[in-house]
Structure 1
Amino acid sequence: MTSVSTANRSASTKPWKPYRVVPKSWWPDLWLLVAFLAFSALLVWPTFVVEFDVWMREFVEAHRPAWAYYVSRVLIFSGQFGLLGVVALALASIVAYRSRTIRPLLALIVTYLITGGILILKVISDRVAPRWKEDESDPTLPFADVDQALLFSNLEPSMSYPSGHVLNTIVWFGFIVLLVGSHMRSWQRHALRWTPPIIATVAMIVLSWHWVSDVPAGIFIGFLILRFILRINWATMRFPPALAWLEPENKILGIPPATYREFFRSSYAPIEPDEQRLRQRWPDGSPVAPKL
């Protein structure tokens, strides 16, 4: 009875099919980094970019209707790091349970650590927000002027640059597409990738939570992180001895752990033939299973 139920469960288990559009070149990554550094240089002294930031802040504060403020307070949650992390954790747990693999959760942990590490960059850049005190109910709060809106301002609190909200939407909604994108239509994947960053950008500018120039920096770093995540062969990489316990069934099947050289070669490489087969379909519409 047990063997029959186990066999039925194994037959009903579908392998995880991460939807990876693998970057083919490193040049875009290099240009994203150069663009971030060059754009950041324009914020070290009072340039036209900083002056535009202050002008836009004053324009929004003078013309913002009450309804736009409250709608933006709701929409801004689309870029909250904690909320997106919880949603991604729930989805990764469901995918891991249904596929009987720890790999979606491993991808989540790596993404979470890399994205959380951007807090270091926000601390180093030391830039205040347009309204840079925390108590928004106080109408006497100071607004940063052109000289105070620069990087390395030495004011507190100062963690505005780059925009974490935009970065989070790019990375985490891109990660959600990685998790379950193979079950979506093309327009759904595009909507999930591009709509949240636009919503978060508009909402945080309306709320004066970020400068306009914080947005491009968040875009540059967000895509750098996402492109790195997409390059990893989450579903097919071989685990070394230190991680072999994550897949105990390999020991039962007599599959030895990979050497560390094999681990790095299998984890960070262009799309593999087996993963290409996951994109193929049988005549009945079901996905072609990978070779084991």
Structure 2
Amino acid sequence: MQETRTVRRKVRLRPVRPGGWWFDVLLVAGFGALTWALAAGHLLDLDLAVRRWTVDHDPAALWWTARILNLLGQGGALLMPVAGGLAVAVAWRARSVRPLLLVAATFLVTYLTIGPLKVWTDRAAPSAVTKEPFLAPEVAVPIFNHQLPPGTYDMGYPSGHVANAIVWYGVIAVLLVALTAGRLPVGAYRLVRFAPPVILLCTTTYLGYHWLTDGLAALLLGWFLDRLLHRVPWNDLPLPARLRGWDGRYPDGRHTDGRHTEPTN
């Protein structure tokens, strides 16, 4: 009697662009250097100058436009439900549980990194200067300010809106490519992928939700997390026995040789 053997897929990390780990190290080093500079008192004048400019240039039409566009960064109310709905649609169509694993991993990665960093760095929002508790600028702008008064919003660094936008819209773009079987127009893909982080960097700074450096730090952190998630070979990860009935491969926006592809027209 011939023995039946189970052939396992070889699991290899997917390449990202720019390739190699050097760029990931550069992103982490940049985040660390920016955090150190703020802790040492550098760049605080830049944050204050940008905030003064936004306060002096706040016509109602521009403020409301920024307020509406800022809703693009609502994680619990928008990003996670949209990504989850797309993952369910792709999973059902491809008979694959793997899109759900991508969304679950994204939630865990963002939850275990962005939130703890906010708590650790203890930075007030710029709006604390103009709204209750009406802090002096030199009190609101420092990082690692563990002497902030009770009730102060003190989880400003890095910006969760910006970091989440990079990570979650990257996932949404991949799922849209999968759902459309690669027929998503290039322009639509790039718009979903890159526009929200830029919009949220501008709107969170303009509205006084975050200092400029909060958003810059979030860009570095979010890009790093995004690259980690895109390195994972979701189609090749071994699954437990109970999930193997839904072990289909789904189009994840990549060629079989590992090169990332944007959808073609």
Residue of 219, 223, 245 corresponding to 1:248: 245
Deviation, structure 1 residue 273: 4.1
Secondary structure, aligned partner of 2:209: coil
CA distance 1:32–1:274, shift in 2 (3 Å): closer
Residues 194 and 144 of structure 1: CA distance in aligned 2, closer, same or farther (over 3 Å): farther
Specify whether residues 223 and 140 from structure 1 end up closer, same or farther in structure 2 by C-alpha distance, changes over 3 A only. Answer: closer
Larger Cα Rg: Structure 1 or Structure 2? 1
Q: Distance in 2 between matches of 1:223 and 1:161?
A: 16
> Which of 92, 99, 118 is matched with 2:87 structurally?
92
Q: How far apart are the structure 2 equivalents of 1:21 and 1:190?
A: 19
Give runs of aligned pairs for residues 134-283 of structure 1, distance below 5 A: 141-154=133-146, 155=148, 156-181=152-177, 182-239=182-239, 243-248=240-245, 273=256
1:31-180 mapped onto 2 (5 Å cutoff): 31-47=26-42, 49-82=43-76, 83-117=78-112, 118-132=114-128, 141-154=133-146, 155=148, 156-180=152-176
CA contact (8 A) 2:126 2:140 kept: no
1:74-115 Cα distance to aligned partner (Å, 9 max, x none): 111111111201110111111111111111011100001111
Bigger shift: residues 150-159 or 92-101: 150-159
The whole-number CA distance in structure 1 between the counterparts of 2:62 and 2:246 is: 54
2:41 alignment partner AA: P
Cα deviation for residue 46 of structure 1 reads: 2.7
Question: Aligned letter for 1:244?
Answer: A
Shift of 1:275: 5.9
Report the CA distance shift for 1:61/1:235 in structure 2 as closer, same or farther (over 3 A). same
Q: Describe the shift of the 1:145–1:104 C-alpha distance in structure 2 as closer, same or farther (beyond 3 A).
A: same
The 8 Å contact of residues 22 and 231 in structure 1, kept in 2 or not, is answered as: yes
Contact in 2 for aligned 1:132/1:158 (Cα 8 Å): no
The alpha-carbon deviation at position 149 of structure 1 amounts to: 1.1
Shift of 1:221: 0.6
Q: Helix, strand or coil: the match of 2:235?
A: coil
Between the two proteins, the alignment pairs up a number of residues equal to 232
Report how far residue 131 of structure 1 moved.
Answer: 1.3
Shift of 1:61: 1.1
Distance change >3 Å, CA 249–CA 70, structure 1 → 2: closer
- Please provide the CA RMSD for this pair: 2.4
SS at match of 2:212: coil
Contact 1:84 1:172 in 2 (8 A): yes
Alignment partners' CA distance in 1, 2:33 and 2:20:
21
d(CA) in 1 for partners of 2:120, 2:168: 23
For 1:98, give the aligned amino acid: R
For structure 2, the residue ranges without an aligned partner over 5 or more in a row are: 1-13, 248-253
Matched residues in 2 for 1:44 and 1:167: separation? 20
Displacement of 1:25: 0.4
In structure 2, C-alpha distance between the alignment counterparts of 1:99 and 1:215, rounded to whole Å: 37
Uncovered stretches (5+) of structure 1, i.e. residues with no partner? 1-19, 251-270, 280-284, 286-292
Identity over aligned pairs, percent: 33
Instruction: Name which structure has the greater RCO, CA cutoff 8 Å, separation 6+.
Output: 2
